[in-house]
Amino acid sequence: MRRAGIVQTRYQSLEIWKSDLATEFRVTGAIHASYHRKRYLTGLAWDLIAAAALLRSDGAPKSILMLGLAGGTAFRILRHLLPDCQLTAIDIDSEIVELAREHMDLDSLNIEVVTTDAYPWLEKNRRTFDVVFDDIYLAGKTDVFRSRSWTVDILSHLRRAVAPGGILAVNLVIGKGHRTMQSHTRKMLQSHFATVRSLKTSDSMNEILVAGDAVATRTRLDKYDDFFHNWRDRMFWNRIEVKRLASFVQP
């Protein structure tokens, strides 16, 4: 790939990398969004995000809310798997959304996009969705970071947006510098939901947590195997691991 440009948005310095078939947005050296004309999966966090949204116990979701959109990589997978699903995204960075429209064919996904600060929007929101996904990360000088830890109030707003029978999910960067946030979020979900499942893959530095009264197991993903015709897509899909977390008991 070749670097095609650098754009300084209000919130981040973004490098645009391109090849004949693919485009990547890179922030602080990491891939922030990915688009390929012939493939859907990357082996990275977006595969896990898409898979997590399918673990609603009552079946495929009819509506998904994503807090944090960037280039829409996960929604590209989900639009392929769920062509009739209502997709809604909240993102504070209007400039990266416009870049995704220009370089990643975002408009073809038919997403309702709201460009605003997600948590204040969530406080006022009264709509409900089958899946609510928190993927809010900001870019620092050398790494990404979550804008704030979940509080009881934030979790309450998130839960209110989840329709009956729905699920709440969150993307967590893991590894050095992120363990405190990972541990805090795990405990919050384990203490408030009957079921919490963790999704990981060997190639990604992320963990996705999915919580609800009930959350489907890994076998739910098997029904989507035939949607992926490219061998790389099938390989990445089959690498996704889903495990149940033990209940957290308050001391």
Judge whether 19 lies within some domain: no
In a domain, residue 232? The reply is yes
At 122 the pLDDT is 93
Question: Per-residue pLDDT tens for 136-182?
Answer: 865 544 345 456 667 889 899 999 999 999 999 999 887 666 677 77
Looking only at the bridges linking them, the beta strands covering 144-145 and 138-139 are antiparallel
pLDDT for the residue 16: 96
Within 10 angstroms of residue 225's Cβ, the number of other Cβ atoms is 11
pLDDT at 57 over 50: yes
Q: Residue 3: inside a domain, yes or no?
A: no
Which token pair is 158?
Answer: 């998130």
For the record, the structure tokens of 8 come out as 């300084």
Determine the structural domain holding residue 139 and report its residue range.
40-244
Does residue 168 lie within any of the structural domains?
yes
Asked if residue 161 is part of any domain, the answer here is yes
Q: Which residues are catalytic?
A: 135
Query: Which of 25-29, 77-81, 122-126 comes out lowest in average pLDDT?
Result: 25-29
Position of tokens 């967590």?
A: 172
- Return mean pLDDT, the chain: 90
Residue 250 domain-assigned?
A: no
Q: How far apart are CA 217 and CA 110, in angstroms?
A: 29
pLDDT band at residue 237 using 50, 70 and 90 as cut-offs: very high
Total count of domains within the chain: 1
pLDDT digits (tens, 9 = 90+) for 221-235: 999 999 999 999 999
The span from the CA of 242 to the CA of 250, in Å, is 24
Q: Has residue 34 been placed in a domain? A: no
* Domain assignment of residue 2, yes or no: no
Cα 167 to Cα 52: distance, rounded to the nearest angstrom: 9
CATH code of 96's domain: 3.40.50.150
Parallel, antiparallel, or unpaired: how do β-strands 129-134 and 63-67 relate? parallel
The whole-angstrom separation of Cα 14 and Cα 233 is: 26
Taking the C-alpha atoms of residue 70 and residue 4, their distance in angstroms, rounded to an integer, is 18
